[in-house]
Amino acid sequence: MASGGSQKLEDKLTCCICLEMFTAPVTTPCGHSFCEKCINSYWDKEAQGPTEQKVYFCPECRKDFPERPELSKTVQLDSLVELLRQGDTQQAPGTELGTTVQRKRCPRHGWPLELYCKNEKRGICCECTVKECRDHGRVLFEEERKIKDESVRKTLEETQKEAKRIGEEIQKVEQQIAAVKDSSQQFKSKILQKFCHIMEALKGCQRKAVERIESEQALALGQLEESWNRLQHQLEVLAEHDKKAKELLTCADNVKFLEELPYLPPPGNSEILPPLVFDLATSVLTTTQFLNEINKLLQEATPPVADIKSTVSKEPKIIGKKVELRLPDNELRMCLLKNQQNLTFDPSTANKYLRLSDLDRKAAHPQDFSKMPNEPQRFEPWQVLCVQKFSQGSNYWEVKISGQSAIVGVAYERICRNKWGRQNFTIGQDQLSWGLHVQEDCYVAWHNGEPTKIKEPLCKFIGVSLNCDHGILCFYGVDDNMKPLHSFDIIFSPPLVPIFWLCEGTTVTLCQKAEGQGQIDGMPADIQTTLTVVEKQGDKKTAPKQ
């Protein structure tokens, strides 16, 4: 700490403008000394004044000079200052900060600053109070600092909360970007798989379909990137505001705090961006319908089976909406049974008039109309979903139908639970479901509200084959001969769920494969015997190869 004599000497060697010890001291004609930089800056401001006649004043004694006086360097004073600084090098820097602040003087009159003027937003001295700021609002520095400090802290808390919210929005946008990329990749892969089954002449159509998907993806990603950039910009604005606010809050100089507070950048208004709706299924619907029609035309132009060299394959060859069998009758079924799935009905989705039994493997629609309690997931039509969902691979199941009319199909789990006008069922009436309607005298295949009538003998047992990897859904009539009834060549976004509709007086039983046995629960004994003989014959044929 400086001694009393040293402190007095330091006061004498202090510039009245910057309130620091002289730096390169110079002397005016009136005999007062200032830092060379301080006095030049002071006179530069006076030279920019509105008056036409330039008059320069001494900040210490207020003596005026008609012309800007020449300054003379005081070498001895400079040496004395340097000597005093060398003697205080061991003193801790930054001491007596409060004293320095209290001794700050008014740049207009040279007196110490005592109050804060609200009108001019600056510190004023006693002379300013009497002259320029006599009718202005004046308060102590500490009182004004307390009011402004609370306001800045409140704004800082709000901007920090807003920054956190924007960070969460950015995470949501990034998740949407990943979901868009994944969904686009799935649809592009399925489109490419479809085009592999089309003739070489359709490669141009393949390219256009892929480009459409990538265009939709690019458009969606562009919108999301724009949203991300907006949120990032808002976050940067808030970060800049927080940085300036924190710097103000750490400022120990009340005058500097209040003078720089008006220049604090506003946090800005944040906007909530609407969620992006990305539906590739609708975008590629036209392409899917076009491919189905092309497949149908190719099938009609294909030569009869007798003209084609017969070959033996382990799976049926499916083209368009017809199934061409390459296997003996029940050998096809034995191949399908390798992918047999045991299904169970979902009670929470069953219509209130349907009755489930046999461990939820049997559904009946009695005519007594006794209602079940309402649940949010129940169908308003006479429909019920299964618990099992299928997203990949080949899957096969069989059902037994007893009654006049029923529908067997698959659907997305989000299929509508309400009725549509006078329709008794919704399976196959939209783009979310596919179904085979077993009527009294024929079959009718349904999808997107378009029926396809199928004239084939009715079977009590219906087989359903769903190949998720290739997008193929096939319905079979199961008896001594395996009859292909109808197939759908589809592009879908898994998972798919088995779904059923039961007319009054109809019962549907889900066939279950007994563990450790080849018998299927619910299958007639004569068909089981025939299948067993065929299976044994198949084992004998394959024995030599083993």
* Model confidence band, residue 537 (pLDDT cutoffs 50, 70, 90): very low
The phi-psi region of residue 428 (left if phi > 0; otherwise alpha if psi is between -120 and 50; otherwise beta) is left
Q: Read off φ and ψ for residue 491, nearest 5 degrees.
A: -115, 120
Cα–Cα distance for residue pair 389/391, rounded to 1 Å: 7
Residue 308 has pLDDT above 50, yes or no: no
| 196-209 average pLDDT score | 71
281 versus 263: which is more confidently predicted? 263
Residue 304 has pLDDT above 60, yes or no: no
Q: If DSSP codes are grouped into helix, strand and coil, which group holds residue 53?
A: coil
The pLDDT value recorded for residue 88 is 53
Distances (CA, A) of 264 to 92, 361, 484: 32, 71, 77
Q: CB 296: neighbour CB atoms within 10 A?
A: 15
Residue of 395, 466, 498, 448 lying closest to 281 (CA atoms): 448
Rounded to 5 degrees, what angle do the CA atoms 414, 437, 332 make? 95
Residue of 474, 460, 442, 454 lying closest to 508 (CA atoms): 460
Residue 60 has pLDDT above 70, yes or no: yes
In sequence order, which residues have a C-beta less than 8 Å from that of residue 269 and are 6 or more positions away? none
The pLDDT value recorded for residue 420 is 82
The pLDDT value recorded for residue 301 is 53
* Architecture of the domain made up of 314-532: Sandwich (2.60)
Residue 240 has pLDDT above 60, yes or no: yes
Q: If DSSP codes are grouped into helix, strand and coil, which group holds residue 410?
A: strand
Tell the CATH superfamily of the 4-89 domain: Zinc/RING finger domain, C3HC4 (zinc finger) (3.30.40.10)
**Tokens matching residue 345:** 């009905």
Distances (CA, A) of 208 to 76, 195, 221, 298: 88, 11, 19, 20
Q: If DSSP codes are grouped into helix, strand and coil, which group holds residue 440?
A: coil
Picking from 54-68, 196-210, 475-489, 519-533, which range would have the lowest pLDDT averaged per residue? 519-533
Of 191-200, 283-292, 399-408, which has the strongest mean pLDDT? Answer: 399-408
For the chain, domain boundaries: 4-89, 141-288, 314-532
Q: CB 379: neighbour CB atoms within 10 A?
A: 23
Residue 407 has pLDDT above 70, yes or no: yes
Look up residue 348 and give its DSSP letter: G
The pLDDT value recorded for residue 137 is 86
* Model confidence band, residue 277 (pLDDT cutoffs 50, 70, 90): low
The pLDDT value recorded for residue 8 is 66
Residue labelled with tokens 């459409």? 212
Residue of 346, 421, 357, 444 lying closest to 386 (CA atoms): 346
For residue range 65-108, list pLDDT tens digits in order: 888 888 888 877 878 887 777 765 444 444 443 344 445 788 88
Helices (H) and strands (E) in the chain, counts: 12, 23
What is the identity of the amino acid at 277?
Answer: V
Same fold, 4-89 and 314-532: no
Residue labelled with tokens 């049997």? 362
| 376-401 average pLDDT score | 92
**Tokens matching residue 457:** 């003998």
535 versus 151: which is more confidently predicted? 151
For residue range 330-346, list pLDDT tens digits in order: 778 888 888 999 999 99
